[in-house]
């Protein structure tokens, strides 16, 4: 009985004119279904390629912040110059509890056992991983030439993720670079402007008394030009965010114990 009814419905559908409401809806739904299947299959199939590109982009940024990037170079090959290490932030010492090649910093930051909630949170990150992967660049004698430290924190619209390269004395900045953010092009996104990034080269973190003095501001602080990076024009709020996040990561809750050990030649 119901089979005959179904056949009747199908016959009526087929006999309807091509621009009938039923056929129009049917075609629209069929096109949506096919298109969504193609898009989702492409997303799944391309995920490994995206992961490889993400890794390559990160490696390229580490090469850039260390001054080793050359256009056209084999990024994976050039990246072998770096020695990744997992650092315990509180002690400022490396740990072999984790494999530095596979340690997932982002996952660790939300893992209860591997992170902590921040009550004093000037960088606006909420939680902080207890361990971070850092990258060492060694000189020919095997000593440390530079350390590349991941940093992140809130700007105006987004969390900025980047790296700071510090010289072997644990105090002189070689470079700073963000590889991911959502600040406004022409305003906050000028953090990517090579002229602004170049200002970081040669700046110092701490004065002779050991006080953290590095500052991003509209006017030079009393500590002097060695500790001063000019704020971005028309993007004071992003600049304040960068100031906060750099001072947070270079401070006691961040890499200060490690940088002190590096300065003392204990690393
Ligand atoms: C659409 C729009 C986007 C903006 N994007 C940014 C931004 O990415 N970073 C930022 O600091 N300020 C941004 N601003 C400007 C801020 O609201 C604020 O005016 C500015 O940070 C003040 O900087 P100044 O004191 O250097 O003028 C934006 C403003 C508008 C209207």
Of the candidates 59, 90, 108, which is a domain's last residue? 59
Decide if 16 is inside a domain.
yes
Which among 237, 239, 241, 244 is the best mutation to test ligand 1's pocket, defined by most ligand atoms within 8 Å of the CB? 237
**Same-domain status, 43 and 93:** no
**Same-domain status, 50 and 91:** no
Decide if 234 is inside a domain.
yes
Decide if 71 is inside a domain.
no
pLDDT-based confidence at residue 233 (cuts at 50, 70, 90): very high
Gap from CA of 226 to ligand 1 centroid (Å): 27
**CB 146 within 8 Å of CB 168:** yes
Decide if 64 is inside a domain.
no
**Same-domain status, 42 and 146:** no
Closest to 202 measured CA to CA, from 231, 224, 235: 224
Cα separation, 212 vs 247, whole angstroms:
7
- pLDDT given at position 9: 85
Q: Is the pLDDT of residue 2 over 90?
A: no
**Same-domain status, 103 and 49:** no
The tally of domains found in the chain comes to 2
- pLDDT given at position 18: 87
pLDDT-based confidence at residue 7 (cuts at 50, 70, 90): confident
Whether ligand 1 lies within 6 angstroms of the CB of 240 is answered as no
Per-residue pLDDT reduced to its tens digit, 248-267: 999 999 999 999 999 999 98
Strand partners, 152: 161
Decide if 257 is inside a domain.
yes
Decide if 70 is inside a domain.
no
Q: Is the pLDDT of residue 1 over 80?
A: no
Burial of 132 (0-12, 13-18, 19+ CB in 10 A): buried
Per-residue pLDDT reduced to its tens digit, 169-192: 999 999 999 999 999 999 999 999
Percent share of the chain, pLDDT over 70: 100
Residue 89 phi/psi, 5-degree rounding, is -60, -45
How open is the CA angle 31-24-43, to the nearest 5 degrees?
Answer: 10
Nearest atom in ligand 1 to the alpha carbon of residue 157 is: 8
Gap from CA of 236 to ligand 1 centroid (Å): 7
Closest to 200 measured CA to CA, from 21, 81, 64, 80: 64
Cα separation, 201 vs 149, whole angstroms:
15
Domain extent, residue 44, equals 2-59
Closest to 152 measured CA to CA, from 184, 185, 191: 191
**Same-domain status, 138 and 228:** yes
Burial of 81 (0-12, 13-18, 19+ CB in 10 A): middle
Q: Whose CA is nearest to atom 15 of ligand 1?
A: 235
Q: Where are the alpha helices (H) located in 193-235, listed in sequence order?
A: 194-198
**Same-domain status, 30 and 98:** no
**Same-domain status, 47 and 115:** no
**Same-domain status, 27 and 131:** no
**Same-domain status, 139 and 25:** no
Of the candidates 25, 59, 93, which is a domain's last residue? 59
Nearest atom in ligand 1 to the alpha carbon of residue 235 is: 11
Decide if 133 is inside a domain.
yes
**Same-domain status, 98 and 18:** no
Burial 45-79 (b: 16+ CB within 10 A, else e): eeeeeeeeeeeeebbbbbbbbbebbeeeeebeebb
Gap from CA of 186 to ligand 1 centroid (Å): 10
Give the SS3 label for residue 230: strand
**Same-domain status, 138 and 172:** yes
**Same-domain status, 45 and 172:** no
């Amino acid at each position: 009985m119901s089979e005959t009814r179904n056949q009747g419905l199908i016959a009526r559908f087929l006999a309807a004119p091509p621009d009938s409401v039923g056929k129009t809806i049917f075609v629209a739904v069929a096109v949506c279904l096919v298109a969504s299947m193609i898009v989702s299959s492409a997303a799944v199939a391309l995920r490994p390629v995206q992961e490889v590109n993400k890794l390559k982009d990160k490696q390229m940024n580490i090469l850039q912040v260390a001054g080793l990037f050359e256009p056209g170079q084999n990024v994976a090959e050039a990246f072998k110059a770096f020695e990744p290490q997992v650092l315990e932030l509180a002690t400022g010492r490396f740990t072999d509890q984790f494999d530095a090649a596979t340690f997932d910093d982002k996952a660790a930051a939300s893992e209860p056992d591997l992170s902590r909630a921040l009550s004093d949170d000037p960088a606006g990150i909420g939680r902080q991983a207890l361990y971070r992967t850092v990258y060492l660049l060694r000189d020919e004698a095997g000593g440390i030439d530079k350390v590349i430290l991941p940093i992140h924190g809130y700007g105006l619209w987004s969390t900025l993720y980047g790296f700071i390269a510090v010289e072997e004395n644990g105090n002189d900045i070689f470079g700073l670079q963000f590889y991911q953010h959502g600040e406004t092009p022409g305003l906050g996104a000028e953090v990517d402007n090579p002229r602004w990034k170049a200002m970081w080269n040669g700046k110092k973190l701490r004065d002779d008394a050991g006080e953290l003095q590095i500052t991003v501001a509209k006017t030079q602080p009393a500590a002097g030009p060695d500790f001063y990076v000019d704020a971005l024009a028309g993007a004071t709020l992003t600049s304040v965010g960068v100031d906060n996040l750099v001072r947070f990561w270079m401070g006691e809750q961040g890499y200060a114990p490690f940088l002190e050990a590096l300065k003392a030649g204990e690393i």
